[in-house]
Structure 1
Amino acid sequence: MAVYLVTYDLRKPGRNYQPVHQYLKQFNHCKDLESVWLLDTNEPAPAIRDELKSRIDASDTVLVIRLQKNGAWWNYGCSDWINSPSRNW
């Protein structure tokens, strides 16, 4: 398993992006910023990207990055989630 940071810019006003959110919610996740999700999953980054690409428009952008255990943040609502011993770094 791995922990990924997934972020996106969804640029088409009025478009229903609910399928993007439904896809991301299926994973063990934390979301505390507008367009940033943390996922704990067995899926490789390219598979996550490809699934998201199938749910967005050509003008939208997606970034999927595998995280390492060490990080820094301030006043971030996902702190407990990140520090949980159940994370699969």
Structure 2
Amino acid sequence: MATFLIGYDLNRPVQNYNNLIEAIKKIGAWWHYLDSTWVVKSESNTSAIRDYLSPHIDANDELLVVRLSGEGAWSGFDPAGSSWLKSNL
């Protein structure tokens, strides 16, 4: 199972994030401590995740899906957030 970073910018004023967020949560185990950044575990690949999420954004929005290497560094997260990252990267 791979770990992916998902980032997005929804550019329409008063954009509704609910559908996109629910779709991200269905991909697999997830971590979300930053506004528009998620880390998820999935058997899928970057293109499939992008294609799955694309119907939940507008044409003028940006979406980034990147497979993570397993190495990371961070600061400022609570113990639960840090623990999830340590266990899942």
TM range (shorter): 0.7 to 0.9
Shift of 1:28: 0.3
2:16 is aligned with 1:16: yes
Unaligned runs of 5+ in 2: none
Q: In the alignment, what sits opposite 2:40?
A: 39
Q: Could you list the runs of 4 or more consecutive aligned residues of structure 1 that deviate by over 2 angstroms after TM superposition?
A: 14-17
Shift of 1:13: 1.4
What TM-score comes out, normalization by structure 2 length?
A: 0.87
Q: Percent identity at matched positions?
A: 37
Alignment of 1:1-89 (within 5 A): 1-26=1-26, 27-77=28-78, 78-84=81-87, 87=88
More helix by share: 2
1:62 and 1:35 mapped to 2: Cα distance?
Answer: 10
Aligned-pair RMSD on alpha carbons? 1.3
What TM-score comes out, normalization by structure 1 length?
A: 0.87
Count of residues in Structure 1 that have an aligned counterpart in Structure 2: 86
